Structure 1
Amino acid sequence: MASGSFRSLLFCILGVLLLLLQPIYLPGSRAIGETPGKAMTILFTHDLHDHFLPAKLEQDGVIINYGGYARLKSAIDAEKMKNPAALVLDAGDFSMGTPFQTLFQSDAPELRTMGQMGYDVVTLGNHEYDYRAAGLAGSLNAARQSRDPLPQIVQSNVTYPANPDGSLPPSLEDLKEAARDYGIKEYMLIDRGGFRIGVFGLMGKEAASNAPMSGVKFVDQLENAGRIVKLLKQQENADLIVCLSHSGTWAERSQSEDESLAQKVPEIDVIISGHTHTSLDRPVISGRTIIASSGDSCKNLGVINISQVSDGTWQLESYRLQQIDDRLPEDGHISGIVDHYRQQVQAKYFDRFDLKYDQVLAAAPFSFQPVDQIINQHAEATLGNLISDAYIYAVMQAEGANYVPVDASIVPVGTIRGSFYAGAITAADAFSASSLGTGADQMPGYPLITVYLTGKELKAACEVDASVSPMMRDAQLFMSGVNFNFNPNRLPFNRVVQTSLQRPDGTVEEINDGKLYRVAAGLYSAQMLSVVGEKSHGLLSLVPKTRDGIPITDFEAHIVNDTTGGNNREVKEWLALARYLQSFAQADGVAQVPQYYNETHGRKVVDNSRHLLALISNPNGIALTAYAGVIVLVTLMAIIIKVAVRKKI
């Protein structure tokens, strides 16, 4: 018995020793026994969104300042002191998000400043197309003509759709020429630190859908990545392959485009993943591919240290996100550049509206929710209430004595780009909160338009928020003039259980399905209503109309213009917000944001009840059709079972 126990113990010890002698692989580490070769450092950002200057952020109830390119430059320099051969890369959306974007087309401050900061290679994100093909072409030309040092741009899956006769539309011809003159390539080869490094850029599917006015088309990123990687491996003999992907990662892996990219094209060594504003404290390791994200708006500089092992593959040595905050000194040279561009923003843009960059419009005794929290929380948001109310106010002010009452306004969450914190709210803050796009006047900022929707379509808009936004987060809507309740546990497209109109005097009335209601929205938001049908598989339909009920084809013809006081200019989304903030009652000469906007008011009520009655009561036509289908199916199954039983008998 003792001898058997001894043999068993001996076998266990031998088994453990054999296991210890096997190669052990941990995510992001070398296998035991592998010898590291030379190392490489990659410094990276993405989704900088024109955050030239530090911005505010509330953490644990404390308002802090983060970001700013002068601090970012100091962080880059500190890392390059340790690793002079480090690559500096960006995965797109370096523009659009602050007043500095107003210089995008004319001065190209983004590319020129990134060149001064030492960026080697960048790719284009969907927001680089916000000012359409002409805007991007102008930016590329302005950058090139400046003769400043510039980063290389890589973008491998863009195409230029031709007219039926084979020619390109003039705007695309100009963009294609500007891209060629700048030197945009599908991929870039860099000899650095003894390695041959291939860097290429991609635009993801979801990101491409957010650039509907670009005029260009983007081919499938997975197929294209496979093609580029094959070239880099077989023809260019690249030692290291880095993809600057403006696609992103999500918590839901099935929607995570860059994780799919790593799985489908495993030869990519590193993916710098932009677009979704993700901040990864630890990289995602998929097979042999490292996926890295540093967050948006210049909050962090990503630092990756990798080494090549004996079989030619790369292993992660270390990874961290360097916070860009006031602990970092500001680089004097970049500070001077930023100040110069800020003066240009004032002279070329804010002066047109008789506003100063730092002019205080109002003071808030409380903070609004951060944008990320608003996006991730499907509920009424006080900032959404403020902006939607501002739209109605702005139309009323612009039309003056000719004002036709607006029944409702709609603000998609995707158009809210910044929030407000306790204290002063400036003109620059208002612009940053609603900073997207350009109008028919070619001036930065989407204008307001007014359209007409039927009561049935207003209810459908509520259902878009309730049912479509879980699939497409930018579809979450904030409305003024319309209140609704929904239950997220009900059948999709039947989640809204109650709707009503609320008039300015506080009275509430039922929505009439057949009546036309005047609705204010941003130009982009109104144009994107057609996407609703696609996402709902045709179950919901919103067709913006004229006051006579005719479907609108030219949205720019319905832009709201301010004609008071001899003016004739578009009412921009951000300007509507700015003027509304200025309209509040003052204290010590400064408008005060009322306490009303520190509370919710039942505009969007979420009922999470799972009670059977709550789930099936008040069915709409979609639900009734679904229920009827289920009843028919159950009846058929019962008949089949009954017939089968009779045959057995």
Structure 2
Amino acid sequence: MFKQERVHRKVLRKVKKQFVTVTVLGGLVGLGAQAVSAQEEVENQSTESATTDKLAPEEANDQTHEEALVELEAQVTPNNKSEVEEVTPLTEADTVDTQAVSTLTEEINEEAETDKEKASNQEETKPVENKDNKEKKKYRRATIMHTNDFHGRLSAKGDSRYDLGFAHVKTLADKYRELADEFIMVDAGDTIHGTNETNLSEGKNAIDLLNKLGYKAFVPGNHEFNYGLDRLLELTNNEENTFKTISSNVEYKDTGKQVFDSFVEWEVFGRKIGIFGITAQDTPTTTHPKNVEDIRFTDEIEATKKQVEQLSEQFSHLVALTHVGHNIDKKIAQAVPELDVIIGGHSHTPVIGGEMVGNTLVSQAWEYGKMIGLAHLDFDEDGNLVKKTAETITLEENFELKDNRGKQENILDVLPSSTVGNTDDIKRETVKEDPEVKAMLDKFKASLDEKLNEVIGESSVDLNGARDAVRKRETNLANFVADAIREFSGADISLINGGSIRTSLASGELTVGSVIEVLPFINTVETINIPGREIKDALEHSVRLLPEEQNGGFLQISGMKVAVDLTRPVGDRIVGVSVGDEPLDLDRTYAVASSDFTLAGGDGYDMFTKYEIANVSGELFSDAVINHIKAQKGPINPKVDGRITISDKALTDSDLQELGFTRLGAKAADQPAEGASEQATEQPTQEEQANNAKAQDSQDTQKATDKTAEARSTEKEALVEEKLQEENEQKKAGVRLPDTATGAWALGLIGLTSLVSGLGTKKFARKD
């Protein structure tokens, strides 16, 4: 390299600083060497050898270097010379060898012979090439395949474009196990609970699959505790498990002893890697409090610092397997830079291709098996970690994402396969389900069918879940469901969207399957704390379409009574509300239980999204109702008890009193004067103005959210496009100019293409 630069400088002197000539000759002599990639050190040797061959006189198509120089000098125009006169002259410091040969021809020939001899010596020691002429790679790869937040989705849905299911995951795992020098699988939690496939076996089906696929480590997420701590320990302490359950920040309250093992060891290429677990500190608010009443969860960052301090002497590299959410993962990476990799879960974040925070690689693989993550650790021959990269694999090239609260927002509209780690063009039609895992899943289904037929109780009356009933008025089945959700959650009231109830049931035996027919959605019970005025606004939203239209967002209720006056304008129809035996206090805070769907703004209930979720139980609606039926002594006999009164006639104060209500927010006399109603409509009252302002504020907030999501989408798409361009440029055949080259280099080369071709320099072009 240095000798070629010396030739460049001496050519400058020979042609009296004529810049274009220097450019061309520089391209002639150094073109091959400059094609070397800075990241592929092994290619330097082969390209140098190629350069030497091209410089040898006998390879120059019978044209000597002296003749070439004369021809080059003859092609320099007066314009070119005038431009070169402005170039700053070289100083003595720029000269590499002060003992220059007297003539340029002798110097070039001497350099060519020397380089040829050097290349000949290197040929004896360079790596042996295989039949495909591929050089021996100089690094070894250790790959961690990771999953998170399956939430019980063990099988791929037949009509789904998104989820893989464990049978597909097994096929992919086998493929990448062959490609990597070292390979393990880890899971970042929230896997063993969430659907009938897992819940009816209390998590055992999911544990069996983790063992079948050969997972090495598993960190418990918040919903792993949904079956209770005793059941979780029963599942995870099994000595036959292939994996170790690890979490270093969960301890018993009475003794301070850790509940789980802290870490697992992985040895690769003579190096020991420690993988430790961290579980979300807020787990007591995201599972039922009774499930974790005997244990505590310590601060995630402090626990990580403690683990790094304790494990650094034992391990050369550290990986944190977390279920804390992507934002906290990044905070951990900033606070504890000693970590090499963080593999996360909990926030359902698609971290495409990983994210570097300082020197820490942070990755997460979205949700429900829609993606599989790969973290690659590349080691050199001496066992040094030289590179960390990540991939994400999906079965679908184009898909829509939803945010982690279930709202249908497009985070990214398109993720091309090359940007999600589909380096081998993996697609659904080419990724077959592993037959053994598929057989396990089929067996689970057969067992599931048996459990669905389990008799859990009986009803002495028909249960009305008809669509045109539950979406417009109170029914006995809707009351029973709402009561079950309130009792399970312990909230003051429950609000259940009528659209979640899908069918009626005849009197007689009740089975697990019949309840699931009524409540087939994977809705879970959540609780928020909100003021009474927001409850009133939610009820107004519930009845806004009555009486004409059915409304899936019509709220079935428990723990309260409501009076609706349809003669009043939309937004002011709720005239009476009582919670228990007391009138609704607009300023008091109430605990409200509902579904994760509704509290995420489903059916237009945006007023709920302004408040933090107080408790995420993870309990399915169907499970809560099943347990409520089992708890009854004898047949159930729910009734329509008048908890929702809907009147198409104006309700007077006396009417409300007879119904047990005190008028809520009265704005006029019970019998308004003629024209008063019209006047009130034309000039909204103060409360109506406040409600309208709230509605506008909600709309503005939603628009801002949409705008932010759109901006993020645009930003991510730009990053994707940039990555694709970089990959394409790296794959293009051809020679790269020196990094210090300017536009003049390109102009010089373009002008002398024919000469370059004549000297055979086209052979320098590298072909991938």
What residue is the counterpart of 2:336 in the other structure? Answer: 265
1:410 and 2:410 correspond: no
Residue type at the aligned position of 1:119: Y
What residue is the counterpart of 1:631 in the other structure? Answer: none
Change (3 A) 1:349 1:185: farther
What residue is the counterpart of 2:574 in the other structure? Answer: 509
Residue type at the aligned position of 1:410: L
What residue is the counterpart of 2:185 in the other structure? Answer: 88
Is this contact kept in 2: 1:111–1:150, CA < 8 A?
A: no
What residue is the counterpart of 1:159 in the other structure? Answer: 251
1:433 & 1:390 partners in 2: Cα distance? 21
What residue is the counterpart of 2:286 in the other structure? Answer: 210
Residue type at the aligned position of 1:240: H
Residue type at the aligned position of 2:296: K
Larger radius of gyration between Structure 1 and Structure 2: 2
Three-state SS of the structure 2 residue aligned to 1:101 is helix
2:451 & 2:478 partners in 1: Cα distance? 25
Cα deviation for residue 41 of structure 1 reads 1.0
RMSD: 5.7
The aligned runs of 1:448-597 (5 Å cut-off) are 456=533, 458-459=535-536, 480=555, 503=564, 508-510=573-575, 515-516=583-584, 521=593, 566-567=634-635
Residue type at the aligned position of 2:172: A
What residue is the counterpart of 1:472 in the other structure? Answer: none
2:537 & 2:466 partners in 1: Cα distance? 36
2:187 & 2:496 partners in 1: Cα distance? 30
Cα deviation for residue 229 of structure 1 reads 1.3
Is this contact kept in 2: 1:50–1:94, CA < 8 A?
A: yes
Cα deviation for residue 308 of structure 1 reads 3.2
The aligned runs of 1:167-566 (5 Å cut-off) are 184-207=260-283, 209-211=285-287, 212-213=289-290, 214-215=292-293, 216-234=295-313, 236=314, 238-249=315-326, 256-308=327-379, 312-317=384-389, 319-323=391-395, 325=428, 327-352=430-455, 394-396=477-479, 409-410=494-495, 433-434=521-522, 436=524, 456=533, 458-459=535-536, 480=555, 503=564, 508-510=573-575, 515-516=583-584, 521=593, 566=634
1:563 & 1:48 partners in 2: Cα distance? 30
Is this contact kept in 1: 2:190–2:223, CA < 8 A?
A: yes
What residue is the counterpart of 1:26 in the other structure? Answer: none
Aligned residues: 422
Three-state SS of the structure 2 residue aligned to 1:261 is helix
Is this contact kept in 2: 1:408–1:481, CA < 8 A?
A: no
Cα deviation for residue 75 of structure 1 reads 1.1
Residue type at the aligned position of 1:92: G
Cα deviation for residue 44 of structure 1 reads 0.7
Change (3 A) 1:98 1:563: closer
Change (3 A) 1:97 1:246: same
The TM-score normalised by the length of structure 2 is 0.45
What residue is the counterpart of 1:6 in the other structure? Answer: 87
Cα deviation for residue 316 of structure 1 reads 2.5
2:246 & 2:470 partners in 1: Cα distance? 37
The answer to which structure has the higher strand fraction is 1
1:427 & 1:604 partners in 2: Cα distance? 41
1:227 & 1:458 partners in 2: Cα distance? 45
What residue is the counterpart of 1:441 in the other structure? Answer: none
Cα deviation for residue 281 of structure 1 reads 1.7
Cα deviation for residue 312 of structure 1 reads 4.1
Three-state SS of the structure 2 residue aligned to 1:7 is coil
Residue type at the aligned position of 1:225: T
What residue is the counterpart of 1:475 in the other structure? Answer: none
Change (3 A) 1:524 1:567: farther
1:227 & 1:322 partners in 2: Cα distance? 35
Identity of aligned residues (%): 19
Three-state SS of the structure 2 residue aligned to 1:159 is strand
Is this contact kept in 2: 1:398–1:562, CA < 8 A?
A: no
Change (3 A) 1:317 1:65: closer
What residue is the counterpart of 2:223 in the other structure? Answer: 127
Change (3 A) 1:3 1:395: closer
Three-state SS of the structure 2 residue aligned to 1:328 is coil
Change (3 A) 1:89 1:303: same
1:307 & 1:209 partners in 2: Cα distance? 40
1:304 & 1:606 partners in 2: Cα distance? 46
Change (3 A) 1:409 1:192: same
Change (3 A) 1:390 1:334: farther
The TM-score normalised by the length of structure 1 is 0.52
Is this contact kept in 2: 1:281–1:321, CA < 8 A?
A: no
Cα deviation for residue 509 of structure 1 reads 2.6
Is this contact kept in 2: 1:199–1:243, CA < 8 A?
A: yes
2:392 & 2:229 partners in 1: Cα distance? 36
Change (3 A) 1:113 1:91: same
Is this contact kept in 2: 1:269–1:314, CA < 8 A?
A: no
Change (3 A) 1:398 1:320: closer
Is this contact kept in 1: 2:155–2:441, CA < 8 A?
A: yes
Change (3 A) 1:318 1:130: closer
Three-state SS of the structure 2 residue aligned to 1:607 is helix
User: Which of 54, 68, 87 matches 2:156?
Assistant: 54
Deviations 1:290-340 (A, max 9, x none): 111111111122122221367944522552324384542111111122222
What residue is the counterpart of 2:147 in the other structure? Answer: 45
What residue is the counterpart of 1:607 in the other structure? Answer: 696
Change (3 A) 1:411 1:287: farther
Is this contact kept in 2: 1:44–1:272, CA < 8 A?
A: yes
2:614 & 2:310 partners in 1: Cα distance? 45
1:115 and 2:115 correspond: no
Is this contact kept in 2: 1:399–1:563, CA < 8 A?
A: no
Structure 1, unmatched stretches of 5+, are: 15-34, 58-62, 250-255, 356-360, 365-384, 401-406, 417-424, 438-445, 464-477, 483-499, 527-531, 543-555, 572-601, 612-649
